Amino acid sequence: MSSRWLSLCTALLSVVFGACGNYSNDDLDFQLALPEQGDMQARMQLSVARADSAEYYRDTRTAVTTFNDLVGKLTAIIDLVRGQTPTGRSGDERTWGPWVMDEQPSWEMRVVMQRTALTATALQMDYWVQLRPVASGDAGWVPFLIGVYVSDGGVQSGQGEIHLLVNEVRAAGYPIDQDPGLAGIVSIDVAYGNLGYPITVELGISKQNGSVIETGHYAYSEQQDGSGFMSFDWQGLSDNGLPIAARMLAQWIGSGAGRADLTADLTPNQPDLSTVLGTDCWGVDSVSTYHYRLGKPDETKGDPASCLF
């Protein structure tokens, strides 16, 4: 994802929401029921990377940063809608927009939110970001981002999903591939839950690579004591063009000390025969306490007993 997508959203909505008129307490329910970006971001006690930091420690830091960047871009619209005046109200539905898009003036955008009371304490919010060619009428609206959030017992505790439907707007003629951060992307999907510990977030991304769809899947879990894990699964093509599935799994305790393993399915059609390609364990200073790489015995250093996991 590039900064262009985030700046596009910011520019659009800052213009539209520049004047915050009066909104009712009923409107406020819509804003307060939505999660904030921080509710879906990965948190890890990681020291600043050093020249001698473990390789997989640095990879874990990169994965956390990439993960949070994707989540932040997807939730940017939610934060911009929060606290702003709807342009339309109808029962339990609110609408913001439509507005002509600065970078694509032949297209316009709107945000629609719908509220449903599930129980006395549980509230469900469904929301849509939609695009359409200007003057195409209601039939022209195409979903770009759809989401659902269910809160229970508090405005910042719940679970939900967000889906960026890149292929849908691409098929409708919107020039999405002009954004280098979204070129080739098919979809991005997030599911999260923070009703209690562990807090969990999963993010999936699919991308077209020639005739092949490559997929990646992040899973993040956080415990109350600051310990947690993040895994990243990738399915695509190896350098020689053969299908391959790989996984990086990092685990850590509250101090930041942890372990990461890289595995891959090197035997086609036998996914149960995963091979450990490498392992790094590190202490609170991020320096490796154990280092292993498959086929490179001369590189093995440290004691595997030093690993926390």
What pLDDT score does 155 carry?
Answer: 53
Identity of the highest mean pLDDT range in 31-45, 93-107, 234-248:
93-107
pTM over 0.85: no
**Residue of higher predicted confidence among 129 and 19:** 129
Range list of H helices, the chain: 3-16, 25-32, 55-74, 76-81, 166-171
Cα→Cα distances 133→174, 226, 253, Å: 8, 47, 50
What pLDDT score does 142 carry?
Answer: 96
Q: Is 245 exposed, middle or buried (0-12, 13-18, 19+ CB in 10 A)?
A: middle
Report DSSP letters for 126-142, one per residue. Answer: EEEEEEEETT--GGG-E
Average pLDDT, the chain: 82
What pLDDT score does 80 carry?
Answer: 62
Q: What is the CA radius of gyration of the chain?
A: 22
pLDDT tier for residue 7 given thresholds of 50, 70 and 90: very low
DSSP state of 271: T
The SS3 assignment for 301 reads strand
**Residue of higher predicted confidence among 96 and 37:** 96
* Domain ranges for the chain: 3-233
Asked whether the predicted pLDDT for residue 95 surpasses 70, the reply is: yes
Identity of the highest mean pLDDT range in 6-15, 199-208, 236-245:
199-208
Identity of the highest mean pLDDT range in 16-20, 100-104, 210-214:
100-104
Q: Contact 75/161 with Cβ under 8 angstroms?
A: no
Identity of the highest mean pLDDT range in 82-86, 155-159, 229-233:
229-233
Percent share of the chain, pLDDT over 90: 42
| Rounded average pLDDT over 61-82 | 79
Asked whether the predicted pLDDT for residue 223 surpasses 50, the reply is: yes
| Rounded average pLDDT over 7-14 | 36
What pLDDT score does 1 carry?
Answer: 36
| pLDDT tens, position by position, 243-278 | 778 899 999 999 989 999 999 886 555 555 678 999
HSE-CB at 15 with a 13 A cutoff on CA atoms is 12
- Number of CB atoms found within 10 A of residue 117's CB: 11
What pLDDT score does 15 carry?
Answer: 31
What pLDDT score does 125 carry?
Answer: 87
Q: Which residue has the tokens 């871009």?
A: 73
What pLDDT score does 12 carry?
Answer: 33
Rounded CA separation 28/13 (Å):
18
What pLDDT score does 153 carry?
Answer: 61
